């Protein structure tokens, strides 16, 4: 698929997808003879994973490392270092998610208080 189709499928902007390509987080699988980026279904899945990490506040470098860990573990071989890294990322993701939930609860309370005024 072309970048426009990828943007539509993910809700991300063309600019964001191009940036992810430029920093190596989501390089295009291939390019057409005219130089247009072409993406595959696995690229779409990778971009959806990146999109899911964004609200948790992971840096681009952390996202790249985590995706590399997941890719390495997908080969089925035993990788103790990667397992440890995955566990660390999972713990941090849960902590960040819990913080987001607390912030959302506070925002909901604030809105209820304004509604009651």
The pLDDT assigned to 101 comes to 97
CATH class of 1-56: mainly alpha
Domain ranges of the chain: 1-56
pTM as predicted: 0.86
34-38, 39-43, 99-103, range with the lowest pLDDT: 34-38
Contact 19, 30 (CB under 8 A): no
What 3-state DSSP class applies to 2?
A: strand
The percent of residues in the chain predicted with pLDDT above 70, rounded, is 100
Three-state SS for 23-82 is CCCCCCCEECCCCCEECCHHHHHHHHHHHHHHHHCCCHHHHHHHHHHHHHHCCCCCCHHH
The pLDDT assigned to 29 comes to 85
CA-nearest of 28, 95, 86 to 62 is 86
Q: What are 61-102's pLDDT values in tens digits? A: 999 999 999 999 998 889 999 999 999 999 999 999 999 999
Distances (CA, A) of 41 to 38, 45, 47, 56, 64: 10, 6, 10, 24, 18
């Amino acid at each position: 698929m072309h970048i426009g189709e990828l943007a539509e499928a993910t809700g991300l902007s063309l600019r964001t997808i191009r940036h992810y390509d430029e920093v190596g987080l989501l390089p295009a699988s291939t390019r057409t003879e005219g130089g247009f980026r072409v993406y595959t279904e696995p690229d779409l899945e990778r971009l959806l994973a990146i999109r899911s990490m964004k609200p948790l506040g992971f840096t681009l470098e952390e996202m790249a490392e985590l995706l590399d860990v997941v890719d390495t573990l997908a080969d089925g071989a035993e990788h103790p270092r990667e397992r440890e890294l995955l566990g660390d990322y999972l713990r941090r993701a849960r902590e960040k998610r819990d913080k987001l939930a607390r912030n959302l609860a506070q925002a909901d309370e604030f809105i209820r208080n304004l509604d009651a005024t």
